[in-house]
Structure 1
Amino acid sequence: MTEFDLLNLKYHHLGEARQDMSRLLKERPGNLSLPQSLYNDPFLFRVDMEEVFMKEWLFVGMTCEVPTPGAYMTVEIGQNPVLVVRDRDGEVRAFHNVCRHRGSRICTGKQGKVANLTCPYHQWTYDLKGNLLFAGTEMGDSFDKGEHGLKPAHCKTAGGFIYVCLAEGEPPEIDDYLDTLATYMEPYDMENAKVAAESTLEENANWKLVIENNRECYHCSGSHPELLRTLLEWDDTNDPRATPEFKALCERQAAEWDQEGIPHKHVEFGLRNRLVRMPLKEGTSVMTMDGKPACTRKLGRIQNQNLGSMRILHLPNSWNHMQSDHAIVFQVQPISAQKTLVTTKWLVHKDAVEGQDYDLERLRHVWDQTNKQDRELAEQNQLGINSLAYQPGPYSETFEFGVINFLGWYSDTVLKNLTQSAL
């Protein structure tokens, strides 16, 4: 079989994969896990990447990671290298990290700072707004630099979070969520924070299993002893498992938060985004082994150390915990049908000093352990799903409603985007 025949076969399979994806999602019962192929088939994974990760808004990092003009960071979205940079006007921008000459990556490091963006291959140079400044005299007199600027990606920021969308046309609407996020994040002043620690775990599991595992705490009592020293297994007073004692704690702490002007009410934007502040266990203030602050320097204008955890959900690739003294943000990056990278970042006030204001091990311990435990759960889940014996199983509407909601969002989003792609 020739290379041309293999290419035709590939596109034939991708066309069939789109049809299969549409059929499987339309036929699936909403209270069951997904059919096996949606967790392990490489062609259906390709559809996921094209219809979700290349068309929806993705969390890629924090604005404090590009604090000054010329500071940049890079991220991979599937096979698409993306560059995020702060320009000289202070605006955070995103570009495809691809030189307009012969396609080489321009910024090869994970982070850095530059005066201009120069491709290491042939030194084509772009300014921080993506305009081509220099291509050498070898291109001839008729060459128009104005037609060869970097290709931009949609980029928006709010409350210190950076979101990027690779959609070729208009991206999905997200401004209502971002406006609310900015309000809820105002007390933390994340522009004046810094990343104190970062970890990336490679998980041998489909990205949807990683998100599913995060969207329920049904497994927590059997798997997360460190986390449950401070975290309650529910995150809403409407949760049917919420006790009268928990509801009373919420009322007491909400009164304190109101006095300090700290937003806390549960807000949702469809099934994609959710913000809610919930207390931790009574007598604890942050997610550490003893429940006491990990950093003596609080974030932003915060005075009250008992802010619990403000939980921010952004589908398809992020969940976050904002606390009085530090924040923890999570980013999910699909690699293949059965491989996913999960990056965790711990953030503190930019002036906090390691060894003086915070101890790194103490800051990280709970979520380092929790992430390892979750990796094991997701990988064992994947191995079982790969079996001939697997068939979609029922979710608990009481304990696993978050998973039901995630897969509802996922199904609706893929079907919507597949329909638009066919037009």
Structure 2
Amino acid sequence: MPDTATQLLPPSAYFNTDWYEREQLHLFSRTWRYAGTIDDLKTPGSYRSTQVGRHPLVVVRGKDGELRAFHNVCRHRGTAVLSGSGVVDKQIVCPYHNWTYGLDGCLLAVTQRNEVDRHLDRSTLGLHPASVAVWRGLVFVHPDPEPEPLTGWLADLPDRMPPYDPEQLAEVMAPQRYDIKANWKVFMENALDNYHLGYVHKDTLVGYDHKRQEQYACGERHWFFYEPPLKPGELTPMEAGLKPIATEPRWYGSAFGLFFPNLFVLSSAVMWSSIEVIPTGPETTTFEMRTRFMPGQNGKLAVAGLKAAVGGLTRRLLRKQRRYDLIEEDVFCCEAVQVGIKSPLFSVGPIAYRYERGIQAFQRNVLDYVPLETGR
């Protein structure tokens, strides 16, 4: 890639309804997507539903202990057979007409079968299969029953990531959810924009050396970022008092992996987080953050540490009296970009290649799935 970076996506990609629908159909429906953690699916009968582009899917732990993914669509009238997450007892019963499926997806029973078709062949009417795979305790799903294997899809990104095992860490607080008045790509690009770290977050990301950051493309789709602490091999002030996960000085600092299209795995010396960025409309996004720490330390201290790492230190923006934490700072910037991007005069000027080149790589990947339409 040359030492230049330019804006590849048109402004309409960030607010146009047709573009949003094409993303759902051609991008999110054709890629591996995060669906939770292995801890969400511990026991036989446990399940977790998720929306993958235009495909409602559900992951189920079978009686044999295996994870399976299905299209969450009853073969009778198309009703979602399971909603949210939870545990079912030995079988899946559609809430509409009580067609009953096994945890392996096979159709077991049809109510008033003679009224439907006394010769009905149940073996042809099981739930449509999808794909499921696990990486370090993270569960991924794909609508296609035979997609590219997850290991191939991730390329060398796992090799870049810190060698943490989230299954050995403790999730000591409920997931944090944030709603943003901005397109999902605005948030993704903000996370890949490392030019702003020393300015927007100058008080909330203290202790990191923003000028010594490293960035790498991983395979064709993914991205890895790392920046060391100002004092090599030491905890930052916001991490003080927490038990380190890192066993090597290399992993003191801040790192994240972008699992294209919409998952970040963020880590520091003391914590590990998954951040799923969920498009909810052309100009709205929800993201969910789940964070883990080393077990064996005071839960309140770990939560306090997260609040410090995410936003315990505060700053004022635009001379307002309101104080913002780290995530609120990013939300503020994303929503401000969303306002500006609809202006007839919107354009992107010269880009700081060293700090912002990940944005161009991300946009190129989006265009691979949702190409520009000529003549429009």
* TM-score range relative to shorter protein: 0.7 to 0.9
Superposition pairs for residues 221-300 of structure 1, below 5 Å? Answer: 221-233=198-210, 236-237=213-214, 268-270=218-220, 272-275=221-224, 278-282=227-231, 290-292=238-240, 294=242, 296=243
Normalised to the residue count of structure 1, the TM-score between the two structures is: 0.73
Aligned to 1:64: 39
Paired residues of 2:74 and 2:94 also in contact (CA < 8 A): yes
C-alpha distance in structure 1 between counterparts of 2:100 and 2:307, whole Å: 40
Q: How does 1:77-88 map to 2 (within 5 A)?
A: 77-88=52-63
Partner residue of 2:81 out of 106, 109, 117: 106
- Distance in structure 2 (CA, Å) of the matches to 1:354 and 1:163: 28
Amino acid of the structure 2 residue aligned with 1:112: G
C-alpha spacing 1:67/1:292, structure 2 compared with 1 (3 Å): farther
| Deviation of 1:86 (Å) | 2.2
Partner SS, residue 188 of structure 1? coil
Contact 1:155 1:162 in 2 (8 A): yes
How many aligned residue pairs are there?
Answer: 352
Matches within 5 A, 1:21-420: 31-32=6-7, 34-109=9-84, 111-115=85-89, 116-138=91-113, 139-167=116-144, 170-172=146-148, 174-176=150-152, 178=154, 187-196=163-172, 197-233=174-210, 236-237=213-214, 268-270=218-220, 272-275=221-224, 278-282=227-231, 290-292=238-240, 294=242, 296=243, 303=247, 307-308=251-252, 309-348=254-293, 354-355=299-300, 358-367=301-310, 369-415=325-371
CA RMSD across the alignment: 3.2
Q: Deviations over 1:235-274 (max 9, x none)?
A: 745x7xxxxxxxxxxxxxxxxxxxxxxxxxx67212x124
- Residue identity over aligned pairs, in percent, reads 27
Say whether the 8 Å CA contact 2:340–2:346 is kept in structure 1. Answer: yes
Which runs of 5 or more structure 2 residues have no equivalent in the other structure? 312-324
Higher mean Cα deviation, 379-388 or 51-60? 51-60
TM-score by length of structure 2 reads: 0.81
- Displacement of 1:80: 3.3
Classify 1:267/1:39 alpha carbon distance in 2 versus 1 (closer, same or farther; 3 Å).
closer
- Name the SS of the counterpart of 2:9 in structure 1: coil
Cα deviation, 1:210-255, whole Å, max 9, x if unaligned, reads 1111101212222224542244325745x7xxxxxxxxxxxxxxxx
- Residue 317 of structure 1 aligns with an amino acid whose one-letter code is N
**CA pair 204-385 structure 1, distance change in 2 beyond 3 A:** same
1:101 Cα deviation after fit: 2.2
Distance 1:400 1:68 in 2: 43
User: Retained in 1: the 8 A contact 2:182–2:338?
Assistant: yes
Contact 2:157 2:218 in 1 (8 A): no
Tell me: CA distance 1:396–1:188, structure 2 relative to 1, closer, same or farther (3 Å). closer
Deviations 1:320-376 (A, max 9, x none): 123454311111111111111111111235776634xx4424324433632222111
- CA 1:343–1:389: 2 relative to 1, 3 Å: same
- Give distance in 1, aligned partners of 2:337 and 2:308: 24
Deviates more, 1:209-218 or 1:391-400: 391-400
Say if 1:64 and 1:194, in contact at 8 Å, map to a contact too: no
Distance (whole Å) between structure 2 residues aligned to residue 234 and residue 92 of structure 1: 43
Partner of 2:123, secondary structure, is: helix
Contact residue 75 and residue 82 of structure 1 kept, 8 A: yes
Task: Give a deviation string over 1:266-294, Cα, whole Å, max 9, x none.
Answer: 67212x1244665333267567x622254
SS of the residue corresponding to residue 409 of structure 1 reads helix
Higher helix proportion, which one? 1
**SS in structure 2 of the partner of residue 330 of structure 1:** strand
